[in-house]
């Protein structure tokens, strides 16, 4: 989740921005195409929102709006939890090794109104509780 200029002087994107940008490049899609595909699936995702997503170099303080997550998922034909996980990673919460199911990761989304510092603290508590459950 690097957001600052590296040794090369280039500014790096956050995890969500990098992934969406990479997918667009691989598919040869513009922001218009991503927006069109989301809207065709019933999710209003504007070209401006797509552009803002792919140029974001800052860590998220709050998760993107649910409609943005759902629109991206529809446009790229991927499950919403994939983009939620990237957004959480962009906030400094890497769930890749947590073995959480999509539903368990959604619990972390309920922390949206909290500050980033409190979200991180609460996320650690939630993960500890989940790991303590039978089968966790």
Provide mean pLDDT across the span 98-102.
Answer: 59
β-bridge mates for residue 5, sequence order? 11
* Residue 18 binned pLDDT confidence (cut-offs 50, 70, 90): very high
Confidence of residue 84 (pLDDT cuts 50, 70, 90): confident
pLDDT of residue 117: 72
Q: How many other CB atoms sit within 10 Å of the CB of residue 111?
A: 21
Task: Answer whether 74's CB lies under 8 Å from 41's CB.
Answer: yes
All structural domains of the chain, each given as residue ranges with its CATH number in brackets, are 15-97 (1.10.260)
Among 100, 110, 120, 101, smallest CA distance to 59 is for 120
As a whole number of angstroms, the distance between CA 16 and CA 3 comes to 11
Give the dihedral sign, CA 128/96/102/4.
positive
Query: Is this model's pTM higher than 0.85 or not?
Result: no
- Provide the 10 A C-beta neighbour count for residue 105: 16
Residue 71 has pLDDT above 80, yes or no: yes
């Amino acid at each position: 989740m690097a957001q600052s200029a590296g040794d090369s002087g280039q500014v790096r994107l956050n995890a969500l921005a990098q992934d969406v940008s990479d997918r667009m490049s691989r598919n040869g899609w513009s922001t218009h195409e991503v927006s069109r595909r989301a809207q065709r699936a019933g999710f209003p995702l504007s070209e401006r929102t797509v552009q803002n997503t792919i140029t974001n170099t800052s860590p998220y303080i709050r998760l993107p709006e649910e409609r943005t997550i759902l629109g991206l998922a529809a446009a790229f034909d991927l499950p919403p939890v994939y983009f939620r996980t990237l957004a959480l990673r962009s906030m400094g919460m890497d769930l890749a090794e947590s073995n959480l199911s999509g539903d368990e990761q959604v619990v972390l989304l309920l922390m949206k109104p909290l500050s980033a510092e409190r979200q991180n603290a609460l996320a650690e508590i939630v993960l500890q509780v989940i790991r303590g459950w039978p089968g966790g």
